[in-house]
Amino acid sequence: MNSVGDMMRCLGLLLVVFVVIQEECLASSIHRRKKREDTDFECPKPDGLFADPETCKKFYTCAGNYPFAQNCPSSLYFDDVRKFCTRKTKQLVCGPVETPEVEPTEPPTPDPLSAPPCDTSACVLPDCFCSSDGTLIPGGLEPTETPQMILLSFDGAVNSLNFDLYKKLLTKTRTNPNGCPIKGTFFVSHEYNSHFHVQKFYSEGHEIAIHSISNRSPEEWWAKGSYEDYAEEMVGQREILHKFANISRDSLLGMRVPYLHPGGNAMMNVAYDYDFVYDSSIIAPMSYTPIWPYTLDYKIPHKCMQGTCPTRSFPGLWEIPLNTLFSNDGTGGMCSLADQCVFQENDDESVEQFLKDNFNRHYNVNRAPLGLYFHVNWFNDRNKTAVLLNFIDDIRTKHRDVWFVTMQELVSWMRNPTKVSNLNSFAPWACEKRESSCNIPKNCEVQLHLDGYVETRYMQTCAKCPVKYPWVGNFEGAAEGVKIMDLTRDAEPESDS
C-alpha cells in the first residue's frame, strides 16, 4: 500500500464485491420460494397441485392462480390423482388428469342406518365427543388452558434398518414438561418387521398400533376390503404382535389403514367389534382451523377426502383424523403424511418454515393436536432429520405447554380434558416403567407359503420361532393356519333354535 487513498480504494472495492454477493444470495433465496419468471404454466384452478404437462418429475403448486414450480425427489414421480410424489408403480398416474364434468344424477337412496349429525346435548364425555364442524376444544377449555399435543407416528415395519434412525429423535433426553421422555406411536405392518425392535420401543414407553399384516398392493384394495379381509389383516396383526413382540392385547388399541385408503363401514365394523379404541386413517381437508379428534357416534364433521369414509354410527370409537399439512406460502404442496410434502433438495429453510407454519396454525388457533406422521424415508434424509430435530428442540425450549404424546395418551386426555396447569400430575401422562425386552433375539428363518409359492422369510423375536412365517390366515405361524374369523365363529354361543 503506497497511500491511505490506495487503502480506501481497496476497501471500497471489497465492499462492492460483498454487496454484490449478498444481493445474489438474497436473490437466490427468494428465487427458491417464488414463481419462476420464465414459466408459461397456467393454473387450471386457483388453488391446488397440478402435474406438469411435459414431465412426471415436476408439478406445480397453485395459490391464488399463482404457480410455484416443484420437482419430485430423484426416485419419485408426481401422481396427478393422489396429488403427491410416489414411486413408479402400475398405479402411477403420470401427467395431467382432466376431471370429467359430472352429469347430474338422481340422488342416492338414503341409508336408513346413516349416522346423524352431531347432537351435543346427547354426546357427552368421556365416551362421546363431537362438534358441528369438528373444531371445538373438548371440555369447553380456552386455547390458553389447552395443551398443544404433538403426535409423532411412524408407519411400516420396524427393523435394524430404521431403529437407530428413529432413536435419534426418540431419545430419553428429550422430555415433556413433566420430565418424562417424549413418546411416539408406531403403526406396525408385519412383513420385514423385527418384533425384537418393536418390543424395545414398547418397553421404552412408546405405543405400538396396527398397520395390517401384508401392507398389500394395489392401494385401492383397502378401500374395497370386506369385513373378513379387515379382520384377518388388522386383528391378525394384533395377534402376531401379541405373540411375537410380547405386547398385551389391551395395549394394542389403535389402527391405521395402509396407503390411507379406508374401507368405509366394513373397516370400522371390525374396529368396533374387536374392541379397538381408535382409528387414524381419515384425512381432514386443508383448513386454517384444524380438526379435533371425535367419536364416530355421529356423522364425520368434515368432507371425506378419500371417498370411502364410514357413514354409519360406531359409538365410542375414536377417530384421530390426519389434518392436511401445508406451508402458508404454498411451497412444499399439501400432504397428510409429512414425508409426502416435497421440497427442493437441500432447501432446509423451506422445511423449517413448513414445520413452523403448521405448528403455529394449531397452537395459535384452537390447539387441535398436531400430527407429524412419517415413513422412514424422511429419516433417510440427513438434512430433513436435522431440521426436524432442531424444530422439536426449539419447541420444547420455548413452550412449556407443548407435549409429545402417543395417540392413546391423546384419547385419555380427550376423555378427561385437563388444563395445562394440572398436567404434571395427570396420571395417564406419567412416566411408566415397562418390562424390558430380551437382549439377544432369536433370528428365525421360516417359510412363507403364499399362492402356491414358498419363500424364505427372516424375523427377529424374543419368543419361540414359529413353524411357518406368520401371515394372513395363519397369524400363529403354525403348521396349519387358523383364520381370525374361524376363531370368532367358534367362540360364538350356539343359538337356542
DSSP state letter for 259: G
- Give how far the C-alpha of residue 315 lies from the chain's centroid of Cα atoms, to the nearest Å: 24
Single-letter code of the amino acid located at 137? I
CA atoms within 13 A on the CB side of 103: 2
For residue 32, the model assigns a pLDDT of 42
DSSP state letter for 175: B
Q: How far apart are CA 381 and CA 100, in angstroms?
A: 38
For residue 451, the model assigns a pLDDT of 81
95, 56 Cβ separation under 8 angstroms: yes
Single-letter code of the amino acid located at 393? D
Task: Report mean pLDDT in 10-residue bins for the chain, 497 residues.
Answer: 48 42 41 48 81 85 75 76 73 75 61 94 98 97 98 98 97 97 98 97 98 95 97 98 98 98 98 98 96 98 96 98 92 88 85 97 98 96 96 97 98 98 97 93 94 91 97 95 84 50
CA atoms within 13 A on the CB side of 273: 16
Q: Please name which of 36, 66, 67, 63 lies closest in space to residue 47, comparing C-alpha atoms.
A: 63
For residue 179, the model assigns a pLDDT of 97
Give me 177's grid cell. 414438561
Q: How far apart are CA 150 and CA 133, in angstroms?
A: 21
Buried b / exposed e over 73-111, threshold 16 CB at 10 Å, is eeebbbbbebbbbbeeeeebeeeeeeeeeeeeeeeeeee
- Give how far the C-alpha of residue 455 lies from the chain's centroid of Cα atoms, to the nearest Å: 31
300, 263 Cβ separation under 8 angstroms: no
pTM: 0.83
Q: How far apart are CA 59 and CA 84, in angstroms?
A: 9
Q: How far apart are CA 143 and CA 369, in angstroms?
A: 12
DSSP state letter for 207: E
DSSP state letter for 338: G
Q: How far apart are CA 8 and CA 27, in angstroms?
A: 28
- Cell 386413517 sits on residue: 281
Hey, is 251 helix, strand or coil? helix
Q: How far apart are CA 140 and CA 417, in angstroms?
A: 9
What angle in degrees, to the nearest 10, is found between the helix axes of 236-244 and 195-203? 80
Q: How far apart are CA 365 and CA 136, in angstroms?
A: 10
For residue 342, the model assigns a pLDDT of 85
What are the CA-CA distances from residue 172 to residues 168, 182, 226, 350, 450 (Å)? Answer: 10, 7, 42, 28, 41
What are the CA-CA distances from residue 204 to residues 167, 180, 208, 234, 437 (Å)? Answer: 11, 11, 11, 24, 9
Max Cα distance, the chain (Å): 115
Residue 21 CB coordination number (10 Å):
10
Give me 257's grid cell. 389403514
Residue 463 CB coordination number (10 Å):
16
For residue 197, the model assigns a pLDDT of 98
For residue 57, the model assigns a pLDDT of 84
Q: How far apart are CA 443 and CA 107, in angstroms?
A: 57
Residue 249 CB coordination number (10 Å):
13
List for the chain the helix, strand, coil content (%; round to 5): 30, 20, 50
CA atoms within 13 A on the CB side of 116: 5
For residue 102, the model assigns a pLDDT of 47
